[in-house]
């Protein structure tokens, strides 16, 4: 009796294993900023101390566990990944390509994403999902994971700081594109400066950034206008500097400053392959444009100079002489 019961149990275990082993989650690897996290397993796991802005690679590989003697293919194999409610309440979701696996064949998907900068310190649920068709029957495998986001008490991140280069001294006001985010657990009063080595502070602004990622003032994304008129021509080093409490965060930029003769905005003479055109503007001005190496000019009614007067006077005198000469010829003809 005991042998029969044991045999029944073994048969049920075998059937259970055979039922769930047609598609195997063969391997799962998680990389955080390029470094493997060994806590992620095929059966699940918790990835600890994830920071705002961290780059994550989630790699999943599955295999058709049917033997070649079974000769059963798995169709419509789709590997998906979902990290729940981490992006201001929204999910990060990826869906891989549809695959067909022969017995023993494997398929792999790599899901790359970044933890949002505006994220609350919390534990976030994730799920690896594998859908497939097993001999006409739709099936699904799920494996659960946890991503624990940890934030420092005081942290401000310069997400973006860019400046267009080169810039001409003819246009000395230059915008610096900025994106600053409070990635810590405390509200921060910040002094934002943009400095240039040897030329002091080019921009200064006081900011208050909230720690709550749901608030609009959790980040600052307005351009900072700097005056480069005092900078020397050449490659200049700029430093975006954030001071908050005893903490300082910096990011360096390179800015090439050129003079007006080399600046695009300075040059009025431009080589263009177009023919000359006369266009009258609203003020009655005639704009002469076009032609290679032609300088755009504006000739307005009332504009007059000495040379132009001499030419017009000469033309008038010449016309008078011609008229008088014709008049004399006509008189001679009449006398005859």
289 pLDDT band (50/70/90 cuts)? very low
Higher pLDDT, 269 or 199: 199
- Whether 259 has a pLDDT exceeding 60, the answer reads yes
Cα 148 vs. chain centroid, distance in angstroms?
27
Judge if the upstream peptide bond of residue 41 is cis by omega within 30 degrees of 0. Answer: no
Q: CA torsion sign, 264 to 268 to 270 to 276? A: positive
Read off the tokens for 103: 């017995």
The helix or strand, by DSSP H or E, that contains position 45, with its residue range, turns out to be: strand 45-50
Q: CA torsion sign, 174 to 179 to 184 to 188? A: positive
CA-closest candidate to residue 131, choices 82, 68, 83, 86 = 82
What local confidence, expressed as pLDDT, does residue 313 receive? Answer: 67
Average pLDDT, the chain: 82
Sheet of 55-64, strand order: 35-37, 23-32, 55-64, 106-114
Euclidean distance between CA atoms 60 and 82, whole angstroms:
13
What local confidence, expressed as pLDDT, does residue 278 receive? Answer: 35
Read off the tokens for 176: 């610096």
User: For the ranges 19-23, 94-98, 232-236, which has the lowest average pLDDT?
Assistant: 19-23
The helix or strand, by DSSP H or E, that contains position 310, with its residue range, turns out to be: helix 306-335
- Three-class secondary structure of residue 14 per DSSP: helix
Sheet of 277-280, strand order: 277-280, 286-289, 297-299
Region at 135 (left for phi over 0; alpha for psi -120 to 50; beta for the rest): left
Euclidean distance between CA atoms 240 and 194, whole angstroms:
5
Contacts of 226 (CB under 8 A, 6+ apart): 173, 174, 175, 176, 194, 202, 203, 238
CA-closest candidate to residue 115, choices 170, 198, 57, 156 = 57
**Rg of the chain over all Cα atoms, to the nearest angstrom:** 39
Query: Would you list the DSSP string of 158-208?
Result: EEEEEE-SSEETTS-EEEEEEEEEE-SSS-EEEEEEEEETTTEEEEEEEEE
What local confidence, expressed as pLDDT, does residue 319 receive? Answer: 73
What local confidence, expressed as pLDDT, does residue 320 receive? Answer: 76
- Whether 275 has a pLDDT exceeding 50, the answer reads no
* Cβ–Cβ under 8 Å, residues 82 and 93: yes
Q: pTM, whole model, 2 decimals?
A: 0.69
Phi, psi dihedral angles at 118 (to 5 degrees): -90, 85
Contacts of 46 (CB under 8 A, 6+ apart): 39, 145, 146, 147, 148
- Whether 76 has a pLDDT exceeding 70, the answer reads yes
Per-residue b or e along 186-223, where b marks 16 or more CB atoms closer than 10 Å to that residue's CB: ebbebebbbbbeeeeebbeeebebebebeeeebbbeee
Residue with tokens 């789709």: 78
- Most confident listed range (88-102, 301-315, 322-336): 88-102
Spell out the domains of the chain, with CATH numbers in brackets: 19-149 (2.70.50.60), 156-262 (2.60.40.10), 269-299 (no CATH)
């Amino acid at each position: 009796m005991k042998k029969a019961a044991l045999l029944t149990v073994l048969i049920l275990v075998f059937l259970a294993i055979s039922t769930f082993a047609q598609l195997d989650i063969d391997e799962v690897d998680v990389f955080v900023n390029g470094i493997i996290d060994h806590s992620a397993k095929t059966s699940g796991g918790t990835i600890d101390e994830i920071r705002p802005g961290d780059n994550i690679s989630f790699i999943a590989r599955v295999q058709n566990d049917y033997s070649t003697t079974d000769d059963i293919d798995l169709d419509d194999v789709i590997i998906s990944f979902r990290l729940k409610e981490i992006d201001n309440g929204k999910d990060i979701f990826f869906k891989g390509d549809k695959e067909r696996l022969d017995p023993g064949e494997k398929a792999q998907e790599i899901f790359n994403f970044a933890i949002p900068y505006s994220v609350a310190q919390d534990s976030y649920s994730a799920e690896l999902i594998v859908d497939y068709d097993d001999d006409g029957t739709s099936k699904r495998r799920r494996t659960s994971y946890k991503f624990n986001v940890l934030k420092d008490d005081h942290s401000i991140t310069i997400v973006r700081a860019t400046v267009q280069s080169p810039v001409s001294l003819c246009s000395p006001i230059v915008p610096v594109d900025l994106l600053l985010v409070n990635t810590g657990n405390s509200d921060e009063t910040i002094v934002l400066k943009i400095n240039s080595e040897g030329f002091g502070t080019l921009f200064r602004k006081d900011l208050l950034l909230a720690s709550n990622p749901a608030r609009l003032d959790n980040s600052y994304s307005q351009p900072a206008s700097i005056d480069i008129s005092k900078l020397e021509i050449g490659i200049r080093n700029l430093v975006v500097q954030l001071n908050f409490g005893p903490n300082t965060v910096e990011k360096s930029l390179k800015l090439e400053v050129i003079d007006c003769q080399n600046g695009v905005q300075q040059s009025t003479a431009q080589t263009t392959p177009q023919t000359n055109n006369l266009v009258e503007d609203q003020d009655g001005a005639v704009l002469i444009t076009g032609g290679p190496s032609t300088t755009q000019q504006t000739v307005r009614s009332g504009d007059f100079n000495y040379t132009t007067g001499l030419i017009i006077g000469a033309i008038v005198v010449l016309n008078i002489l011609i008229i008088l000469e014709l008049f004399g010829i006509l008189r001679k003809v009449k006398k005859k």
